[in-house]
Amino acid sequence: MYGALLNRDTTFEGVFYVGVKTTGIFCRPTCPAKKPKAENVEYFASPHEALYGGYRPCLRCSPLNKEKKPPELVERLRDAVEQSPTGRVSGVELQAIGIDPSTARRQFQRHYGITFHAYQRARRMGLALNEVRNGNTVIDAQLNNGFESASGFWEAFKSVFGVPPSKAEQVNCLHARWFETPLGAMLALANEEGLHLLEFVDRRGLEREIAGLMKRSKCAVVPGDNSHLEKIGTELKDYFDGTATSFTVPLVTNGSAFEDDVWALLRIIPPGETWSYAQLAQTLNRPMTTRAVGRANGRNCLALVIPCHRVIRADGNLCGYGGGVWRKQWLLEHERQVVRQAA
């Protein structure tokens, strides 16, 4: 890691962060600042761990900056897929353009949480699903999306969506999109009905959360886009730019009746204000359910749009938040500042 820091190796962008003991600042491994001595450095897996370690973000490399782009190689790979989403870029073709296939797999996995091969496959399958749904024949969907073998297409389709192509109309497919924000990357999942999930990608237990959502919704998740993902992208930008404090994207919740009541109530807490768990329970006319309200908050998988960060303890302490207490504090202060400026 120290070698990567000295060489400003983009391969390690997002893999670790560097805390400099002599300055109290933490940086990306690609920071252009003068390099510290090895004995004055400690490493962190994420920005919030560095913040908990007592370090502040570097002003030169902006480790929390939403405009930080993925490594160049990852962008090249992603663009190659989007230029021809129905095709395949093989290992031989990667080598021909000077990219080592193992490096491509590792960097793509590191940045997006899915291998380059799996991303290509899922992208093609998502397009194939839409074709079959829209009336194209299975053979047309197979050929249009780069599958030479009918049996290979059949098996690939079934492994992703759980049903054969002939039953494509039964598949509830969620498209996944990645958004960069000043507080780190967020993952959004949505279908034609609305937004199902919006979470910080480093949230503990996110994989279990997605697996549970897939099971409850009987859906598959593939990379892609739709109008609701476009809308939440715009609304996230407005929120973090300080031009808006609320969201209008349609939501799909998968909770119990009690949880849906709690989540609906969360959405009426005004920006810049906080309620206690007890206050929520009282407003629901169920004063003895404070703990249940807390559990419902924890099960909310639509961060920011269902603002569970606006709930604190009765004594004023911030307490737990799935995205980290440091994010909760930032979000509350951000909203207060936006409200003050609008007043």
Where is 249: in which H helix or E strand?
none
List the one residue out of 200, 170, 202, 165 whose CA is nearest residue 300.
Answer: 200
Where is 63: in which H helix or E strand?
none
List the one residue out of 239, 236, 245, 282 whose CA is nearest residue 262.
Answer: 282
Whether residue 308 lies in the annotated active site: yes
What is the rounded end-to-end Cα distance, in angstroms, of the chain? 48
Q: How many CB atoms lie within 10 A of CB 229?
A: 22
Strands (E), the chain: 17-20, 25-27, 41-44, 56-57, 172-179, 186-190, 195-200, 219-223, 275-276, 311-312
Pairing of strands 17-20, 41-44: antiparallel
CB 160, CB 220: distance < 8 Å: yes
In whole angstroms, what is the distance from residue 58 CA to residue 33 CA? 9
Look up tokens 């129905």; give the residue: 86
CA distances from 117 to 128, 133, 165, 251 (A): 17, 24, 21, 31
Q: How many CB atoms lie within 10 A of CB 38?
A: 11
Look up tokens 């109008």; give the residue: 227
Look up tokens 């397009």; give the residue: 127
Q: Which of 58, 61, 308, 319 is catalytic?
A: 308
Pairing of strands 219-223, 195-200: unpaired
Q: Which residue type occupies 62?
A: S
In whole angstroms, what is the distance from residue 138 CA to residue 237 CA? 39
Task: Just list the catalytic residues.
Answer: 308
